[in-house]
Structures are given as structure tokens and as C-alpha cells.
């Protein structure tokens, strides 16, 4: 959760839920068909059957070379990292996904990051759809969609706008990364978890990641 304004919004949301517990319970219990999970997508995303593991991680990375950047002069991003986690929680029978995104810019110094929830994932409604994650940032911070390439070695990260923060400083207002002409779709390649460790700042979670292959 980022920025002081976000705390105010979330406080109002908590009060609203407290005033109507029955409605909150009803919303939590309801699962829309579009939110049903696709076990095959999960297995392909993590390149493994994660079974009953409490929490699993997968990392995708891209550092754009000078040739690519020369061919895409309007692209602001020079490097991107994506860490996706799938977690089992006692109160939910379905996997809960979350994401962390790291960004470097061509003309702006420093490391930028963002994070948020991806819900339960999405099962295609028809044969023409592709299973994907739709992920959002709190307090109208935009978000991304995450789609696997057919061979499952890469992801396509799509965005219209997402709020990001410099050097993990959530107290700052941050800035918006807008999906312009060359910054709307990013293809990231599967990488070791070690390459995404910089996106994690909690010691216990870092220790948990070290136990994963």
C-alpha cells in the first residue's frame, strides 16, 4: 500500500465493510465464473506442479539491449522484472496471486517498483481467450495483465497505466508509467528467483524464496 492518500481511502473502505458485515461475507463467498482458476495455466506459469505448497514464486526478466532501444526510440523502459507469487490461505480454497514489478528507465536514474494483487487468475471463457492474470495496484494505481507465451518460456506484460515508486519509498507519491507507443507490451523471459530478489524487502519472504528452486 503506497502513499498517505491511499491510507485514507482504505480506512473508509474498512469502515464501510465494518458497517455491513453480511454484505462483506457474501462478497467474499461469491466466485464469478470469470475468476475460476485454470490449473493448467498455473502449472505452465510456475513450470511445475506446485501442489499443496503454501507459497510459490516465479521470476521473469528483460534487459533491453541497445539495438532494441534504437529500434524503439519512444520506449522509456530499459529493463523490467516481474515476480509472481501464488499463495494458499486458510480462508480461501483457491490460489491467491500477487505481483511485484521492477522497472528501470532509459533517461531517469534509480530503481522503480510496484506491487499488488492478481486475485484468483482467470479461466478463458471460450477457446479464443487466453488464461492470464489481471493484477491491480491499490487506490486506483492501475495495473498489468500477465499472459504466457505459447511455449511458456516468457510472459507478455501489458499495461495502460501503473503507479510506480522509486527505490522502494512507499511514502512518496510516485509516478505513473503510461503505456505509450513503445511501452504498452513487454515480453519478459523466465529467469531464476535470484534475479527477482531485489523486489522483495521482507527478510522472512527472502528466506522462503531461497528454499525454492
Q: Residue 188 domain-assigned?
A: yes
Radius of gyration of the chain (CA): 18
Q: Residue 127 domain-assigned?
A: yes
Cβ atoms < 10 Å from Cβ of 158:
16
Q: Residue 135 domain-assigned?
A: yes
Q: Residue 8 domain-assigned?
A: no
Angle, vertex CA 130, rays to CA 128 and CA 136, nearest 5: 135
Sign of the alpha-carbon torsion through 114, 194, 62, 97 = negative
Q: Residue 173 domain-assigned?
A: yes
Q: Residue 18 domain-assigned?
A: no
3-state secondary structure of 87: strand
Q: Rounded to the nearest 10 degrees, how much is the dihedral formed by the CA atoms of 129, 72, 160, 158?
A: 30
Q: What is the number of alpha carbons within 13 Å of residue 128 lying toward its C-beta?
A: 0
pLDDT at residue 90, rounded to an integer:
86
DSSP, residue by residue, 165-199: EETT-TTS--EEEE--TTSSEEEEEEE-GGGGGGG
pLDDT at residue 43, rounded to an integer:
92
3-state secondary structure of 163: strand
Cell of 81: 522484472
Q: What is the pTM of this model?
A: 0.82
As for how many domains the chain has, the answer is: 1
pLDDT at residue 158, rounded to an integer:
96
Q: Residue 143 domain-assigned?
A: yes
Q: Phi first, then psi: give them for residue 20, nearest 5 degrees.
A: -140, 70
Q: pLDDT tens, position by position, for the chain (213 residues)?
A: 455 446 443 443 333 334 433 433 333 333 343 445 678 889 999 999 987 788 999 999 999 999 999 999 999 999 999 999 999 988 888 899 999 999 999 999 999 999 999 998 865 554 455 778 999 999 899 999 999 999 999 999 999 999 999 976 666 788 999 998 899 999 999 999 999 999 998 888 888 887 765
pLDDT at residue 171, rounded to an integer:
64
pLDDT at residue 204, rounded to an integer:
86
Q: Residue 10 domain-assigned?
A: no
pLDDT at residue 51, rounded to an integer:
77
Structural domain that includes position 173: 31-210
Amino acid at each position: 500500500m503506497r502513499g498517505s492518500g491511499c491510507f485514507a481511502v482504505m480506512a473508509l473502505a474498512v469502515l464501510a465493510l465494518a458497517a455491513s458485515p453480511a454484505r462483506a461475507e457474501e462478497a467474499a463467498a461469491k466466485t464469478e465464473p470469470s475468476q475460476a482458476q485454470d490449473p493448467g495455466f498455473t502449472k505452465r506459469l510456475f513450470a511445475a506442479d506446485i501442489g499443496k505448497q503454501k507459497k510459490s514464486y516465479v521470476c521473469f526478466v528483460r534487459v533491453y539491449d541497445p539495438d532494441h532501444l534504437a529500434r524503439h526510440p519512444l520506449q522509456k523502459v530499459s529493463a523490467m522484472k516481474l515476480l509472481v507469487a501464488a499463495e494458499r490461505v486458510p480462508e480461501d480454497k483457491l490460489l491467491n496471486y500477487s505481483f511485484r514489478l521492477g522497472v528501470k528507465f532509459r533517461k531517469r536514474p534509480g530503481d522503480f517498483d510496484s506491487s499488488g494483487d492478481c486475485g484468483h487468475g482467470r479461466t478463458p471463457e471460450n477457446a479464443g481467450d487466453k488464461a492470464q492474470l489481471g493484477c491491480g495496484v491499490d487506490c486506483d494505481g492501475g495495473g498489468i495483465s500477465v499472459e504466457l507465451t505459447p511455449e511458456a518460456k516468457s510472459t507478455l506484460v501489458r499495461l495502460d497505466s501503473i503507479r510506480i515508486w522509486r527505490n522502494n519509498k512507499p511514502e512518496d507519491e510516485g509516478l505513473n508509467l503510461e503505456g505509450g507507443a513503445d511501452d504498452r507490451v513487454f515480453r519478459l523471459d523466465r529467469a531464476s528467483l535470484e534475479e527477482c530478489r531485489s523486489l522483495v524487502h521482507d527478510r522472512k519472504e527472502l528466506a522462503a524464496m531461497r528454499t525454492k528452486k
